[in-house]
Amino acid sequence: MDVSAVSFGGDFFMADDKQIFIALAGNPNSGKTSIFNCLAGANQKVGNFSGVTVEKVEGSFRHRGYTIRLVDLPGTYSLSPYSPEEKVARDFILFQKPDMVVNIVDATNLERNLVLTTQLMDLEVELLIVFNMIDEVEKQKTKIDYRQFEKLFGAHVIPVSAITQFGIRDLLDHIVDIKSGKIETLKYKHQYSDGIEEDIRALSDAIAGRTAWKHLPTRWLAIKLIEHDPDIIAMLKPFPCWASIEESIGSTREKILRFEKKDAEVLLAEERMAFIRGAIKETVVNDEEQRESLTEKIDNILLHRFLGLPVFLLIMYAIFQFTFRLGEYPMLWIDRFFQLITRSLDALIPASMLKSILLDGIIAGVGGVLVFLPNILILFFCISLLEATGYMARVAFVMDKLMHRLGLHGKSFIPMITGFGCTVPALMAARTLRNRGDRITTMMVVPFFSCGAKLPLYTVVISAFFAPSMAGNVLFGIYIFGVLIGLISARLLKSTAFKDESEPFVMELPPYRKPSARSMLSQTWIRAYMYLKKAGTVILLASVIIWFAGTYPKNAELHRHYESLRQQAAADIVSLDRQEKAQQLPYSFAGRIGKFFEPLSRPLGFDWRLNIALINGLAAKEIVVSTMGTIYAIGDVDSDFRTLAESLRSDPHYSKATGLSFMIFVLLYVPCIASVAVFFRESSSKKWTFLFVLYTLSVAWLGAFAVYQISTLLGL
Amino acid sequence: MIMQDPHREPIPLSEAEVGSCYRVLSVNATGVIRQRMLDMGLVPGVCLTVLRFAPLGDPIEIRINRFFMSLRREEARFVQVLPVAICPRPHHGRFRRFFRGGFFHGGR
């Protein structure tokens, strides 16, 4: 096969006539991505469609001397702009004008898949239909008359199976043959009933020749206007010629309503469906009686009235355990690796400012991010698995009632539960929500689901102020408090900022499928890579800033004092170093900032030292404990929590109330810089990113204030 | 057999019975929701089987041909359906109905 992968350099492409630009369109779950992988192989470039967070995957390869550039459009049921994905797919075909649209159709479910096909026919593009999953069709002993089908749809049909690779070569040959003119396509329009066709023609004539709309297919515009597509109307309204058109649209719709007793869009959808059903009746023969499919059998258990919920909780629990238990080991290795680097560099480089930046700033910061990589990889692998098998839609189905009470969508459940692990992947998991209001709301409340990095702090504080018998209950209480705040916040946001933006729950429960290892691994990798790239760069910057604030300005006098101490008593240099660090801290920017915020933090019971810990915690929550360790001059806290706990307990400034209030603050305030960066990328809104920070900070302050004041009153 | 009176009154899909078959009469939702339903094949004239309600009782799962679709009761209210006697899947008989909702739901 002459399908050699090529790099994606822009200068690679040869003469224009030897290049074919193709868009892959198809329903979700039609196997579009598998076909894309078959065609483009490993040569993929992932990005976003301009201006929206809809993933755009491109690939490029050569076949018979042609360079074929392939764009995988988002999976859509239709071309009406219901979701950003659908709008992107439609706009891409309309404005980027690909040479050919290859429509991937799930041949086991023609009736629904062909709805998109008829809409693509309305667009009057060069269309090539691919019947995917032909192996399953053959297993069902279904026979399809392709010749007849091609006659009805006016486009070539290629039977293909992405799993067995059957027909892929045929598909490539067809693409080249159509482009080179070897095969002539019929390019039928989809014919509606005579009355409608007359209306379409009349409206087309009225539109034709308007220079402003010249780049759009006239017939399609007319159909969309009859259907009263809000997006198209908004697009055309600003033009002066709109007024004359508007009238004839109104009269056409009125006429249809009067004679057919139904709205035009319903009539057109019915006619499309009637055409599809007629075509299927004419071309598909299925001798076997329809049996209960495997999917139904599985769902009879997984969605069972009584078993459904326990099974679901079990799956969630398993993923959670899998992610965090299995992730522990590689996390330990990564942690050790960075310790090793730090130690060896420490010995290698003479003390200097550069060394300090490198070790305390960059390696500490970047290491702190990389440590999460195993968690993120495993979690995203599990999420891809749920998505690829089809269970993800069932999660939404099972949880929707509960989530809907909060004004959210069933799919919001996944990001929320993920939030208990790490906020960053949780924010990314919110992508599966189509509605912007639901997505932003979910992302806003995710931080309240206490992430794993906060746990060490709870452990220290609880062991400092509470009896061991109480520890479990206090910890559980903290988690529940976070969940409650999250749920209340969701309710609040959905009833104020996103009042009318609720996504209706009309979704497919796709048939269960065996996931392909290749696409799952590539999806996991893509997500991990994005995490590394974006969060990594921001963390790098942030850790340098935090390092700087904690180190400068140097107190020269103090330094001289310790220098002389060191020379006197060479025995315990390590502890002297720590003491110097501890005394240098109040002098540094961080210390001054901590002192500056004391008036604000006093009602919560925090002094400047806790403030520094909180401010450093903005970089990552693990840093809270290690900063406290430094502050209380006891050095490496990770090895022995009890010493920090003891020094907290013995400090006269602190009480149970302080401990509770501090834990609540850590629970509720901004998770970390990485999460803010990811929030910005996922929401692409400065306003909401700002609100994200502001909201979590104010909720944390209020929560800690309430807890501190109440528990002080109770005499804790 | 599920013998329903074919002349029964049309009902909203939200009040449909699990395991029964219906023919869609009209989709009265407004705006994008209706377009969505139509695009997904919930078009007047098609036959659907109500498969189940979610464990917590709300979204409802229906089967149109080989397509499994779920929607909330509040959206299903807008879909008028008429009970039909002939179910495309003949073995949805009394036996199944008897065990429906019990632990043997998935069994034969």
- State whether A223 and A250 are in the same domain: yes
Flag whether pLDDT at A60 surpasses 60.
yes
Residues linked to residue A252 through DSSP beta bridges, in sequence order: none
Considering only the beta carbons, identify the residue of A80, A109, A401 that sits closest to B67. Answer: A109
Higher-confidence residue of A563 and A401: namely: A401
Verify whether the Cβ–Cβ distance A398 to B64 is below 8 Å.
Answer: no
Q: Which fold has domain B11-99?
A: SH3 type barrels. (2.30.30)
Q: Is residue A357 part of a domain?
A: no
User: A161: Cβ–Cβ under 8 A, 6 or more apart, which residues?
Assistant: A132, A133, A134, A135, A167
Please indicate if any CB of chain B lies within 8 Å of the CB of A468.
Answer: no
Nearest CA in chain B to A79: B39
Considering only the beta carbons, identify the residue of A115, A307, A400 that sits closest to B72. Answer: A400
**C-alpha span between A417 and A666 (Å, rounded):** 19
Please indicate if any CB of chain B lies within 8 Å of the CB of A510.
Answer: yes
- State whether A160 and A21 are in the same domain: yes
Choose the most confident range, by mean pLDDT, from A333-337, A529-533, A583-587, A691-695. Answer: A691-695
- State whether A96 and A227 are in the same domain: no
Nearest CA in chain A to B37: A506
Site of tokens 């199944």? B96
Of the pLDDT bands very low, low, confident and very high (cuts 50, 70, 90), residue A23 is very high
Signed CA dihedral, A419, A420, A422, A425: sign only: negative
**C-alpha span between A616 and A543 (Å, rounded):** 9
Please indicate if any CB of chain B lies within 8 Å of the CB of A299.
Answer: yes
Residue A668 has a pLDDT of 95
Verify whether the Cβ–Cβ distance B59 to A397 is below 8 Å.
Answer: yes
Nearest CA in chain B to A402: B56
Residue B52 has a pLDDT of 92
Residue A4 has a pLDDT of 40
Flag whether pLDDT at A432 surpasses 60.
yes
Flag whether pLDDT at A202 surpasses 70.
yes
Higher-confidence residue of A451 and A596: namely: A596
Percentage of chain A exceeding pLDDT 70: 89
Neighbours of A359 (CB within 10 A): 17
Chain B hits for A290, CB-CB cut-off 8 Å, are: 66, 88-89
Please indicate if any CB of chain B lies within 8 Å of the CB of A281.
Answer: no
**Structural domain of A74:** 10-180
Q: Which two tokens stand for residue A167?
A: 């027909």
**C-alpha span between A429 and A451 (Å, rounded):** 15
Task: Kindly report which listed range (A357-361, A472-476, A693-697) carries the lowest average pLDDT score.
Answer: A357-361
User: A156: Cβ–Cβ under 8 A, 6 or more apart, which residues?
Assistant: A128, A129, A150, A174, A178, A183, A185
- State whether A21 and A55 are in the same domain: yes
**C-alpha span between A483 and A450 (Å, rounded):** 8
- Cα–Cα nearest to A231, from A401, A68, A83, A95: A83
Chain B hits for A295, CB-CB cut-off 8 Å, are: 68
Flag whether pLDDT at A486 surpasses 80.
yes
What is the CATH number for A256? 1.10.287
Considering only the beta carbons, identify the residue of A299, A303, A401 that sits closest to B58. Answer: A401
Q: Residue A435 has what DSSP assignment?
A: S
Q: Which pairs with CB-CB distance under 8 Å and at least 24 residues apart come from A259-266?
A: A259/A195, A262/B26, A262/B44, A264/A226, A264/A227, A264/A228, A265/A227, A265/A228, A265/B34, A265/B35, A265/B38, A266/B26, A266/B27, A266/B34, A266/B38, A266/B43, A266/B44
Verify whether the Cβ–Cβ distance B32 to A404 is below 8 Å.
Answer: no
Choose the most confident range, by mean pLDDT, from A103-107, A287-291, A679-683. Answer: A103-107
Smallest CA–CA separation between B11 and chain A, in Å? 18
Q: Best mutation site among A506, A507, A508, A513 for testing chain B: the one with the most B CBs within 10 Å?
A: A506
Q: Is residue A330 part of a domain?
A: no
- State whether A24 and A144 are in the same domain: yes
What is the number of CB-based contacts under 8 A between chain A and chain B? 150
Signed CA dihedral, A149, A151, A154, A159: sign only: positive
**C-alpha span between A648 and A619 (Å, rounded):** 23
- State whether A161 and A43 are in the same domain: yes
Residue B107 has a pLDDT of 34
Verify whether the Cβ–Cβ distance A266 to B38 is below 8 Å.
Answer: yes
Interface subset of A 45-104, CB within 8 angstroms of B: 77-78, 80, 82
Please state the rounded mean pLDDT for residues A390-416. Answer: 86
Nearest CA in chain B to A107: B66
Residue B6 has a pLDDT of 52
Domain end: A226, A248, A265, which one? A265
Count of structural domains within chain A = 2
Q: Could you read off the pLDDT of B81-104 as tens digits, one per residue?
A: 999 876 554 333 333 333 444 333
Verify whether the Cβ–Cβ distance A505 to B59 is below 8 Å.
Answer: yes
Verify whether the Cβ–Cβ distance B40 to A274 is below 8 Å.
Answer: no
Q: Is residue A560 part of a domain?
A: no
- Cα–Cα nearest to A56, from A35, A70, A40: A70
Chain B hits for A230, CB-CB cut-off 8 Å, are: 31-32
Flag whether pLDDT at B44 surpasses 60.
yes
Verify whether the Cβ–Cβ distance B43 to A270 is below 8 Å.
Answer: yes
- State whether A100 and A167 are in the same domain: yes
Flag whether pLDDT at A518 surpasses 90.
no
Q: Are A254 and A228 in contact (CB under 8 A)?
A: no
- State whether A169 and A202 are in the same domain: no
Chain B hits for A390, CB-CB cut-off 8 Å, are: none
Which CA distances in Å does A531 have to A369, A442, A528, B72? 9, 19, 5, 35
Give the containing element (helix H, strand E) for A593. Answer: helix A589-596
Verify whether the Cβ–Cβ distance B88 to A504 is below 8 Å.
Answer: no
Q: What is the ipTM of this complex?
A: 0.77
Residue A12 has a pLDDT of 45
Flag whether pLDDT at B2 surpasses 80.
no
Flag whether pLDDT at A6 surpasses 70.
no
Verify whether the Cβ–Cβ distance A269 to B69 is below 8 Å.
Answer: no
Residues in chain A, overall count: 716
Residues linked to residue A159 through DSSP beta bridges, in sequence order: A131
> In A74-229, which residue ranges form alpha helices assigned H by DSSP?
84-91, 110-122, 134-139, 146-153, 168-180, 194-207, 218-226
- State whether A162 and A204 are in the same domain: no
Residue A445 has a pLDDT of 94
- State whether A80 and A200 are in the same domain: no
Residues linked to residue A246 through DSSP beta bridges, in sequence order: none
Residue B61 has a pLDDT of 94
How many helices (H) and strands (E) chain B has is answered by 3, 6
Nearest CA in chain A to B68: A509
Chain B hits for A305, CB-CB cut-off 8 Å, are: 52-53, 55, 101, 105
- State whether A45 and A163 are in the same domain: yes
Q: Residue A240 has what DSSP assignment?
A: T
Flag whether pLDDT at A290 surpasses 80.
no
- Strand ranges inside A3-123, DSSP E: 19-26, 44-48, 55-63, 66-72, 100-106
**C-alpha span between A129 and A150 (Å, rounded):** 9
> In A7-109, which residue ranges form alpha helices assigned H by DSSP?
32-40, 84-91
User: A34: Cβ–Cβ under 8 A, 6 or more apart, which residues?
Assistant: A132, A162, A163, A516, A519
Considering only the beta carbons, identify the residue of A300, A404, A506 that sits closest to B37. Answer: A506
Interface subset of A 516-575, CB within 8 angstroms of B: none
Residue A444 has a pLDDT of 94
- State whether A92 and A152 are in the same domain: yes
Q: Are A444 and A692 in contact (CB under 8 A)?
A: yes
Verify whether the Cβ–Cβ distance B40 to A270 is below 8 Å.
Answer: no
Flag whether pLDDT at A122 surpasses 50.
yes
Chain A hits for B64, CB-CB cut-off 8 Å, are: 111-112
Q: Could you read off the pLDDT of A328-358 as tens digits, one per residue?
A: 788 788 888 888 888 888 888 877 777 777 7
User: A286: Cβ–Cβ under 8 A, 6 or more apart, which residues?
Assistant: A140, A141, A142, A143
Task: Tell me the pLDDT of chain A averaged across its residues.
Answer: 81
Q: Could you read off the pLDDT of A123-151 as tens digits, one per residue?
A: 888 889 999 988 888 887 888 888 888 88
- Cα–Cα nearest to A376, from A523, A582, A219, A259: A523
